[in-house]
Structure 1
Amino acid sequence: MTNANIDIARTYFQAVQTGDMATLGELLDEAIVWHQPGVNQFSGDHKGRDAVFAMLGRMMATSRGTFAIDEIRTLMGNGDLVAATIHFSGRHDGASMSMDGVDLLRITGGKITEMWLFSGDPATEDAFWG
């Protein structure tokens, strides 16, 4: 199961990188719980695929379409969990961020059911998102 879950995670990140919303919709469980870190306008738990898509849409609007996961470095699996080391960035209105992160995905029945995100520089990310 671990290799299958790593493949699902890889497909998820490729869909994020290419803006393939149809594939994202297929991979995110309808009842997903998304744990967004920090103390900014997007922080907290987002419950349900629609809430996650709404948050991601607001993030893209805030970043003027520049927010991106620009590198997926390593995918590691352990049962129903997949950890990914990534690099992400964005800019808007003279502000920018560029940092490493870790995304932890719980994959059950071929769907991403829970997501935890970790930022390499939480203070910079909070300042960026406001």
Structure 2
Amino acid sequence: MTNIDTAEAYINAVQSGDQAALGNLLSPQIVWHQPGGNRFSGIKNGMTELGPMLGAMMEVSGGTFAITDVHRYLANGDLVAIEIEFAGEREGASLSQPGIDLMRIVDGKIVEVWLFSSNQQQEDAFWGL
């Protein structure tokens, strides 16, 4: 399996809600860099920090937060950049924008993720403090 295959499997698991597949792709010691200045921003170390954050994001968005489109995957060694679009709704607020997910993949496991939003101010306003 190439690193792009791993990244594609990650996107498929996220989009289908396949928690078992997602769990098999993410390292238990994953380092997750959540951008911005909102309630979810900051570095999450390991699944014990990442899992609750992802669950809370789904709760806040009423299950609507999603990767809505993927345009391309680009690889450079153990790094894969994914050009995506993501969206969500909550309490009359909406979020829809392009972004980049950059992941470091080692031995078929995603060990580190950096997320980039095209409009961080909009995303911060959507998630709130």
TM-score under structure 2 normalisation? 0.98
CA RMSD of aligned residues (A): 0.8
Is 1:71 paired with 2:69? Answer: yes
Is 1:92 paired with 2:56? Answer: no
Task: Give % identity.
Answer: 55
The partner residue of 2:10 within 9, 12, 15 is 12
Q: Deviations over 1:12-66 (max 9, x none)?
A: 0000000000001000001000000000000000000221111110000000000
Query: In the alignment, what sits opposite 1:117?
Result: 115
Helix, strand or coil at the partner of 1:26: helix
Helix, strand or coil at the partner of 1:30: strand
**Cα separation, 2, equivalents of 1:87 and 1:45:** 22
Is 1:126 paired with 2:124? Answer: yes
Query: In the alignment, what sits opposite 2:48?
Result: 50
What residue ranges of structure 1 are gaps of 5+ in the alignment? none
Helix, strand or coil at the partner of 2:102: strand
**Cα separation, 1, equivalents of 2:69 and 2:51:** 21
Counterpart AA for 2:59: A
Helix, strand or coil at the partner of 2:97: strand
What residue ranges of structure 2 are gaps of 5+ in the alignment? none
Moved over 4 A (4+): none
Task: Give the deviation of 1:104 after TM superposition.
Answer: 0.2
Number of equivalences = 128
Counterpart AA for 1:115: V
TM-score under structure 1 normalisation? 0.97
Helix, strand or coil at the partner of 2:2: helix
**Cα separation, 2, equivalents of 1:14 and 1:60:** 17
